[in-house]
Amino acid sequence: MAGEAATRRGLMATALAAVFFSLSSAIPAASGQLDPHFYDHSCPQAQQIVASIVGKAHYKDPRMAASLLRLHFHDCFVKGCDASLLLDSSGSIVSEKRSNPNRDSARGFEVIDEIKAALEAACPGTVSCADILALAARDSTVMTGGPGWMVPLGRRDSRGASVQGSNNDIPAPNNTLPTIITKFKLQGLDIVDLVALLGSHTIGDSRCTSFRQRLYNQTGNGVPDRTLDVSYAAALRPRCPRSGGDQNLFFLDPVTPFKFDNQYYKNLLVYRGLLSSDEVLLTDSPATAELVKLYAANQDIFFQHFAQSMVKMGNISPLTGGNGEIRKHCRRVNHN
């Protein structure tokens, strides 16, 4: 038991060191209302608290890194990065957790709760849930081998949610490329941001229900997706039948499923992207295809663009100043 505990402490120390070492050569933060030094005086230990709990969660569950990264995406694409996703249904609030993109798939809320409780104990009423999501996404990227960046901070939390926005604004696995481009553009994100940010699919899983049509009936004519490698499709079918198995999980990148790297783009080049929304980056636009080829050939450039695009996404419509609030509990607004 003592040896196991020592090993666990060693892994945790390594994970934390990775986060803070990565920041010594990190991408500079974007200028604006948010500031990476926002908590330097009011809660100087905030980032270390977040990294410690994310590291512990990642050690216990290797899937958690992708789940926490996804929470930040799904939060920012709906009303901006304001932690609206974290609110449970209550009173007039209908939770975004009930939306199609989040229902039965969004996870990691207990980790956010644990981080918030630790921050409230250390610095009551200071660190927002929205900033916790942004920091946890960065730390999850670093702990799986990806790039680090300085996270601009100072977001405040919303007092409401939008399940309609969640249903409409988050890119879906079966969206066409023009639709995905439009959804990114509405958030102020361009094609480089789109292709770089979808590279987060280098880690994580997807459910059978999200790609089944590619295996059997892509365009309604009973024929599989012609842009899906035949042998890969055959390997997927046993656990993703024509009916049933909707919640069965599959790695988005089966080659290095728990490592943040550029393997996702290499998979696309050989038509082994799991989701239609992944493979269309190669097949449906010369501009996005060139970026896929660039990132497949050069991981350093992918990491640089990913970090820059994460900062850009994290700056979508934040609540600052007197807007919003600092929730005491991330699942509910303060007056409840």
Residues designated catalytic: 74
Q: What is the amino acid identity at position 124?
A: P
Cβ atoms 35, 153 nearer than 8 A: yes
- The dihedral formed by the CA atoms of 50, 56, 61 and 66, expressed in degrees to the nearest 10: 20
CA distance 206 to 185: 24
Token pair 């069965």 is found at 248
CA distance 184 to 207: 23
CA distance 324 to 46: 20
The Cα-based distances of 115 to 119, 141, 144 in angstroms read 6, 17, 19
CA distance 248 to 327: 35
Cβ atoms 207, 274 nearer than 8 A: no
Largest CA distance in the chain: 62
Strands (E), 175-278: 205-207, 249-251
Half-sphere exposure in the Cβ direction for 179 (13 Å, CA):
12
Token pair for 89 = 């249904």
Do the bridges between strand 249-251 and strand 205-207 make them parallel or antiparallel, or are there none, so unpaired? antiparallel
The number of residues in the chain equals: 336
The Cα-based distances of 130 to 75, 151, 227 in angstroms read 8, 12, 38
Question: Of 232, 230, 199, 205, which is closest to residue 304 (Cα–Cα)?
Answer: 199
